[in-house]
Amino acid sequence: MAGLDPAGAVLIRHQTNGVYRLVTAPVVIKVAPPGEQNLAEVVNLVSWLHDHAVPTVALWDGVSQPLEIAGSGVTLWRYLPQDRPVRAADIAEPLLALHDAPLPPFSLPLVDPFGEIRQSIASSRLLTDDDRAMLTEHCSLLTQDESRLNFGSAPGLIHGDAHHHNTLLDPVRGGAVLSDLDTAAVAPREWDLVTVEVHCRRFDHPPAEYAEFCQRYGRDVREWSGYAWLRDVRELRMITTNARKSAPGSPAAAEVRRRLDHLRRGEASIWHIL
């Protein structure tokens, strides 16, 4: 359909989406799960962000998108070769540009962390009854505190899952660009900022790298009075989402079990990336 040759395509990852790199053209193919409904909105948003100079990975322009093949939505993206790992500081410039952008002239979802957390708890094949009870209680306690929270910024455009693996270095323009905008939403920007902080701390990135992110972005979310609450919400969502996505008996399932055990004991720990 796009006039591209898939011979020798390489699987980059397969968590929520199947992501493949072509070896015959500088293109990445992203295959969404069957029934994914928001791909047209993602394509519209990325095009709109490009028009507003927000650094994001570019869509492949050789075909109208998204495609639908065998019940799955497919999008095609420009491949950006990476010569080093992304660091937290790289995320600051494109994330600040996204946060400073106006709201687009089409609707985006509002962040509903507790709805997604409850859905993940209910649908996970990994969780025991004790796990579900613990996670539900934790979620309920956090929900009770939400009404007392004062966000430091008004709701605006956020990435929804801003971290190292959703950012790419762009060797042509220089700097970094945001990718994987499937979770873009309207919410206070603290949601993105705490996501970066959680990833830096939980996945054991050097503290100096997070400090450089704060310096470049212009703010350290840990200085905000609601930081601890939003940190706990974000970490609970990460645990429950991975509990829903991970297949029983897989290495990912073992990591989810480890996180659950540490949460049950109230222990801080380093996580392994999934």
Q: Is the pLDDT of residue 36 over 90?
A: no
What does pLDDT average to over the chain? 95
Residue 264: CB atoms within 10 Å: 13
Give the pLDDT confidence score for residue 132 in this predicted structure. Answer: 98
72: three-class secondary structure by DSSP: strand
Q: Is the pLDDT assigned to residue 234 strictly greater than 80?
A: yes
Q: Which two tokens stand for residue 254?
A: 């073992």
Q: Tell which CATH classification among 3.40.50, 3.30.310, 3.30.200, 1.10.3470 matches the domain 10-78.
A: 3.30.200
With a cut of 90, say whether residue 101 has pLDDT above it.
yes
pLDDT per residue as tens digits for the range 18-34: 999 999 999 999 999 88
pLDDT (0 to 100) of residue 257? 97
Which of 16, 20, 77 has its CA nearest to residue 46?
A: 77
For residue 15, pLDDT over 90 is answered with: no
Q: What confidence category does residue 153 fall into, taking pLDDT thresholds of 50, 70 and 90?
A: confident
Q: Is the Cα torsion angle 226, 229, 235, 236 positive or negative in sign? A: negative
88-265 and 10-78 share a CATH fold: no
3-class DSSP state for residue 151? coil
Domain boundaries, the chain: 10-78, 88-265
* DSSP 8-state secondary structure symbol assigned to residue 164: G
Specify the pLDDT at position 125: 95
Model confidence band, residue 44 (pLDDT cutoffs 50, 70, 90): very high
% of residues, the chain, pLDDT over 70:
100
CA 21 vs. chain centroid, Å, equals: 20
Confidence of residue 37 (pLDDT cuts 50, 70, 90): confident
Residue spans of alpha helices (H) in the chain = 39-51, 88-100, 113-123, 129-145, 190-202, 207-217, 227-245, 251-265
Full DSSP string of 197-218: HHHHHHTT--HHHHHHHHHHHT
| pLDDT over threshold 90, residue 274 | no
Q: Provide the pLDDT confidence category of residue 137 given band limits of 50, 70 and 90.
A: very high
Lowest mean pLDDT of 33-37, 40-44, 236-240, name the range. Answer: 33-37
Model confidence, pTM? 0.95
Mean pLDDT of 245-253: 93
Residue with the larger pLDDT of the pair 232 and 16: 232
Q: Give 70-87 pLDDT, tens digit per residue.
A: 999 999 999 999 999 999
Nearest to 231 by CA among 208, 197, 271, 189: 197
Residues 6+ apart with CB under 8 A from 261: none
How large is the average pLDDT for residues 100-116? 94
Handedness of CA 237, 243, 246, 249 (dihedral sign): positive
pLDDT for 129 beyond 80: yes
> Does residue 148 carry a pLDDT above 90?
no
Q: How confident is the model over 170-202, as pLDDT tens digits? A: 998 899 999 999 999 999 999 999 999 999 999
The CATH class that applies to domain 88-265 reads alpha beta
pLDDT of residue 152: 81
Residue 198 to residues 7, 56, 77, 235, 257: CA-CA distances in angstroms?
A: 39, 22, 28, 7, 19
